[in-house]
Amino acid sequence: MINQSATAESAIHTGGGAAPATVPRIALVGVHGFGERHLANLARLQQAGVLELVAVADPNPPAPGRLAPSVAVFDDLAQLLAADPGIDVVILATPIQTHAPLALAALSAGKDVYVEKPPVASLARFQEVLAAAEAAGGLVQVGFQSLGSHALPAIRELVESGSVGEVLGLSAKGQWVRNKAYFKRSRWAGKRSLDGIDVVDGVATNALAHAVATGLHLAGAHTLADVESVETDLYRAHGTESDDTSIIRILTSGGRTLLCALTLCAPEQQRPSVTVHGTRGEITLFYTEDEVVITTPDGERREKFGRTDLLENLLAARSAGTPLLCALPDTGAFTTVLEAIRTAPAPQPINADYVTWAGEGDEAHPVVHGIAAAMERAVKAQATFAELGLPWARELPPVRTLTLDGNPVAAYQDGSRIRAVSSPRPYLHPIRTLAGTVVTDHQPLDHVWHLGAGVALQDVDGVNFWGGRTYTREAGQYVWRPDHGSIAVKDTQVEEMATQTGGAACRLQETLAWNGPDGTPVLHEDRTWTWSGVNASVWQLTLAFALSPAGGQAVSLGSPGSNGRFEGGYGGFFWRLPACGEATVWTPAGAGEPEVHGSVAPWLAWAGTFDGGAATLVFVAAEGSTDPWFVRVDGYPGVGQSLAWESPVIAEPGNPVQRSVTVLVADGVLGTTDIEALINQQGNRS
């Protein structure tokens, strides 16, 4: 529809050689949905005398009386541009898939453009609009309103001043609630494409796109060249095409990692945020409110900031050359993320067993079980839902599966998906009983650097091969240091062999390189995993390893305990258990954590109820071993043998440090008599 009288009045201002208008003349395309907010903002700015709204376009006209009589109303942008009401700026508040063609039309007509987020639905379209803007000399502002926040430069100054130490990474987190009606509001809602045209709606590209864009901004990623890689882990609980629960992990060309954990399936709406994680604290921006929370060892402080309106910024750029706060080229990094989502496989539906629907009818909304805790864990570990092994996430195949009679009992992981400050290394997880109960955990929220069962040390000639903070004698506490090493697999061999009792066993032999932060080899390790069945409910796993200097000099193998932390001598073999109910731990000489922690005993047993059933783990020391047991029950469930309880152990050229331990993995709860019988039967004091 065309409002003819309004069009005629517009001609009074611009036609027939009249003097140009004293204020910019604005057209709004799309007056419903988010367009309503633009109408309110335009009314505010027009009342302030900084612009004039002269035209709108929408196939569904605004309600009578909603606009001043002087505002021309058109069905679409093509009609508006053909009528030529003398506009300077076109605001696009239209469906995602229309942004690019409408922006191209406006730029071709010589207009500056304000386009809502996301600016386009593909990388190809982005480059097309970018080229058109450059050719026309037009300005294109993208409506990521959070990038107008005055908190952003303040946060950059805090980071550059070292207020939170060295940056470990950034995260963006959003937990929103969206019901069925949300996805019925338009044909394109919840679609990856519509009528063969890209839409790329989704939690990261639309609903919580500001979280991604703000995180990229603080990570220093603006243009296409600022992004090194994007990994996507996409899921949906709604009956849509697009993702509503996802992890996006972005590596910038500057070497920073941004982990975005986003859902529209939370139990309740939470304020979205972006956090800079540092070695001395964190800076969190709640971007919808421009509130910053700084947390350091000195305490917590909060500060509120103002915000520059992006339309006002665009007008200032037109009149005074003020830089755009969200220019189209500076959304190249976000478009790279969008393109990764567009080209990724369709989001995986979340199994209904892990979703509860709240509410009725169109007000019903899904809640993914444990989603808040899963997102916290993902952010802290910089890991995807799949990497964490969540039960509803897609399954990532391990490097190798350990089996007995075709039954998988353990998965071998090479550590390549582990973040650098968790000291990537090979490990076994999940380890299962013969009945299938999982008895290991990895990347748990309390210590995301705990990785199933394996070998780790916190101080190898000053290099941390354990992960997380390092305990130093000088500091007398745990501190973040750039000292994290990694353990790389150089060679593996698998073979079958006979056991002493005449049964069959399997053996995995590895050659491993312990490399420092700069990649320089520090240790050479020969590691052997051996596993075999014991009876219908028990199997056994033996780990043997030998550590030798990689060069011609002796290497010190230490722990927090050897560096002064009382009874903190963990390091060497370590087994992280999952949450365990009714946990009991004992040795032949005592029971309970206070009794067994730090003790030397031929074996140590752990029994309890895990998710899946009751199980008992019996850790059997090598004959003559004097290494104390390291045990945690209350703080977290874990068992290890301390290689350096109070003093470091020295690995010398030609004289490797060697250790071994055997673990009996049993269904059900075993007693001491059962345990002693099994140990004697197998003769496995290794």
The CATH number of whichever domain residue 13 belongs to comes to 3.40.50.720
Position 156: which residue type?
A: R
Separation CA 418–CA 425 (nearest Å): 8
Q: Is residue 395 part of a domain?
A: no
Please, are residues 574 and 428 in contact by the beta-carbon 8 Å criterion?
Answer: no
246 and 113, same domain (yes or no): no
pLDDT band for position 422 (cuts 50, 70, 90): very high
- Mean of per-residue pLDDT scores for the chain: 95
Residue range 54-83: mean pLDDT, rounded: 95
Residue range 359-364: mean pLDDT, rounded: 97
Q: Is residue 342 part of a domain?
A: yes
Token pair belonging to 104: 């191209």
Q: What is the pTM of this model?
A: 0.94
516 and 645, same domain (yes or no): yes
**Radius of gyration for the chain, computed over Cα atoms and rounded to the nearest angstrom:** 31
Position 389: which residue type?
A: G
142 and 159, same domain (yes or no): no
pLDDT band for position 247 (cuts 50, 70, 90): very high
pLDDT at 498 over 60: yes
Separation CA 215–CA 224 (nearest Å): 15
Token pair belonging to 212: 């991604």
55 and 89, same domain (yes or no): yes
Cβ count within 10 A of residue 494: 13
Host domain of residue 363: 148-306+329-387
pLDDT at 101: 98
User: Which of 387, 411, 429 lies at the terminal end of a domain, its last residue?
Assistant: 387
Token pair belonging to 396: 């990532």
Token pair belonging to 393: 């996430």
pLDDT at 500: 60
Q: Is residue 318 part of a domain?
A: no
Cβ count within 10 A of residue 666: 28
pLDDT band for position 5 (cuts 50, 70, 90): very low
pLDDT at 626 over 80: yes
Separation CA 332–CA 204 (nearest Å): 15
Q: What is the dihedral of CA 388, 392, 394, 396, to 10 degrees?
A: 40
pLDDT at 683: 73
Please, are residues 178 and 201 in contact by the beta-carbon 8 Å criterion?
Answer: no
Q: What is the SS3 assignment for 174-243?
A: EECECCHHHHHCCCCCCCCEECCEECCCCHHHHHCHHHHHHHHHHCCCCCHHHEEEEEEEEEECCCCCCC
* Angle between the N-to-C axes of helices 99-108 and 123-136, in degrees from 0 to 180, rounded to the nearest 10: 10
Q: Is residue 315 part of a domain?
A: no
pLDDT at 6: 36
484 and 608, same domain (yes or no): yes
User: Which of 97, 124, 146 lies at the terminal end of a domain, its last residue?
Assistant: 146
Residue range 331-353: mean pLDDT, rounded: 98
DSSP secondary structure code for residue 242 in this structure: S
pLDDT band for position 496 (cuts 50, 70, 90): confident
Q: Is residue 322 part of a domain?
A: no
121 and 154, same domain (yes or no): no
pLDDT at 47: 97
Cβ count within 10 A of residue 128: 16
Please, are residues 144 and 360 in contact by the beta-carbon 8 Å criterion?
Answer: no
Phi/psi region, residue 159 (left: phi>0; alpha: psi -120 to 50; beta: rest), is alpha
Residue range 405-422: mean pLDDT, rounded: 97
Alpha carbon 88 to its chain centroid, in Å, reads 42
Residue range 583-606: mean pLDDT, rounded: 98
User: Of 235, 234, 237, 215, whose CA–CA distance to 226 is shortest?
Assistant: 215
Residue range 492-507: mean pLDDT, rounded: 80
pLDDT band for position 592 (cuts 50, 70, 90): very high
Please, are residues 90 and 97 in contact by the beta-carbon 8 Å criterion?
Answer: no
State phi, psi for 230 to the nearest 5 degrees.
-135, 130
Q: Is residue 231 part of a domain?
A: yes
Token pair belonging to 192: 């990856």
Token pair belonging to 258: 């941004």
Q: Is residue 504 part of a domain?
A: yes
Contacts of 354 (CB under 8 A, 6+ apart): 368, 369, 391, 392
Residue range 58-87: mean pLDDT, rounded: 95
The CATH number of whichever domain residue 437 belongs to comes to 2.70.98
The CATH number of whichever domain residue 367 belongs to comes to 3.30.360.10
547 and 640, same domain (yes or no): yes
pLDDT at 13: 32
User: Of 423, 536, 418, whose CA–CA distance to 487 is shortest?
Assistant: 423
234 and 101, same domain (yes or no): no
Residue range 200-227: mean pLDDT, rounded: 98
Please, are residues 616 and 669 in contact by the beta-carbon 8 Å criterion?
Answer: yes
pLDDT at 65: 87
Q: What is the dihedral of CA 636, 641, 643, 644, to 10 degrees?
A: 50
User: Which of 89, 120, 146 lies at the terminal end of a domain, its last residue?
Assistant: 146
Token pair belonging to 81: 């541009």
pLDDT at 297 over 70: yes
338 and 281, same domain (yes or no): yes
pLDDT band for position 501 (cuts 50, 70, 90): low
pLDDT at 18 over 50: no
Separation CA 67–CA 492 (nearest Å): 74
Residue range 567-589: mean pLDDT, rounded: 97
pLDDT at 628 over 80: yes
pLDDT at 264: 98
DSSP secondary structure code for residue 353 in this structure: G
Residue range 292-319: mean pLDDT, rounded: 97
User: Of 101, 104, 99, whose CA–CA distance to 119 is shortest?
Assistant: 99
Token pair belonging to 507: 């053996």
Please, are residues 581 and 606 in contact by the beta-carbon 8 Å criterion?
Answer: no
Please, are residues 194 and 97 in contact by the beta-carbon 8 Å criterion?
Answer: yes
DSSP secondary structure code for residue 201 in this structure: -
pLDDT at 4: 36
pLDDT at 257: 98
pLDDT tens string 502-529: 568 999 999 999 999 999 999 999 999 9
Contacts of 311 (CB under 8 A, 6+ apart): 38, 41, 42, 45, 51, 91, 114, 141
Please, are residues 367 and 355 in contact by the beta-carbon 8 Å criterion?
Answer: yes
Q: Is residue 320 part of a domain?
A: no
pLDDT band for position 14 (cuts 50, 70, 90): very low
pLDDT at 8 over 60: no
pLDDT at 378 over 80: yes
pLDDT at 10 over 50: no
Beta strand ranges found along 480-587 (DSSP E): 486-498, 504-515, 521-535, 538-549, 555-558, 572-576, 581-587
- The total domain count for the chain is 3
pLDDT at 359: 97
From residue 191, give the alpha-carbon distance in Å to each of 195, 342, 394. Answer: 10, 11, 21
162 and 229, same domain (yes or no): yes
Binning the chain into helix, strand and coil, the percentages to the nearest 5 are 25, 35, 40
pLDDT at 91: 98
Residue range 562-580: mean pLDDT, rounded: 97
pLDDT tens string 95-147: 999 999 999 999 999 999 999 999 999 999 999 999 999 999 999 999 999 99
Token pair belonging to 346: 């369709």
pLDDT tens string 648-667: 999 999 999 999 999 999 99
623 and 636, same domain (yes or no): yes
Residue range 557-567: mean pLDDT, rounded: 97
358 and 490, same domain (yes or no): no
